[in-house]
């Protein structure tokens, strides 16, 4: 997703998540490793912009959690994280900024967690940078 500024990358991602939200909500949370959420990793400078645009373009229909710090993450329950439609997290919490090296998540910018239950999506995730389970 390296299109020019204003080319609709954010809206495209939001539309993809919104189109799959109802199906994801029907997935059973059978164990603590299952999540319905789409994980979106962003820089600290744009996390609030992403949150606002998700609300704007989804009509407020996507349950979104914003995680900007370790303290904020600790306040959330496992259930909240697993039942969200979108989890926005700053790349700093994943060690992406402090090391000066590219973060593994940056290869795949958006991880469609709810879709990883299908075999095709697992193949897609491996091709995009893998390691996501």
**What would the pLDDT profile of 49-81 be if each residue is shown by its tens digit?**
999 999 999 998 999 999 999 998 899 998 898
pLDDT in tens, 1-40: 555 666 678 888 898 888 888 888 888 877 777 788 889 9
How much is the pTM?
0.69
In this predicted structure, what is the pLDDT of residue 67? 94
The Cα-based distances of 124 to 16, 45, 69, 109 in angstroms read 15, 29, 30, 13
Q: How far apart are CA 35 and CA 22, in angstroms?
A: 14
pLDDT in tens, 81-123: 888 999 999 988 877 655 445 555 444 444 443 344 334 444 5
Question: Which residues make beta-bridge pairs with 88?
Answer: 40, 66
Q: Which of 102, 13, 94 is nearest to 58 (CA)?
A: 13
The residue count for the chain: 133
């Amino acid at each position: 997703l390296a299109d020019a500024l204003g080319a609709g990358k954010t809206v495209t991602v939001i539309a993809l998540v919104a189109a799959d939200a109802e199906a994801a909500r029907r997935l059973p949370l059978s164990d603590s490793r299952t999540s319905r959420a789409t994980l979106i990793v962003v820089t600290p400078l744009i996390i609030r912009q992403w949150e606002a645009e998700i609300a704007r373009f989804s009509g407020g229909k996507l349950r979104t959690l914003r995680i900007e710090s370790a303290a904020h993450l600790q306040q959330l329950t496992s259930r909240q994280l697993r039942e969200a439609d979108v989890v926005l997290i700053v790349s700093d919490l994943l060690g992406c900024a402090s090391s000066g090296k590219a973060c593994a998540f940056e290869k795949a910018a958006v991880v469609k967690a709810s879709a990883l239950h299908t075999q095709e999506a697992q193949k897609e995730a491996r091709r995009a940078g893998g390691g996501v389970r």
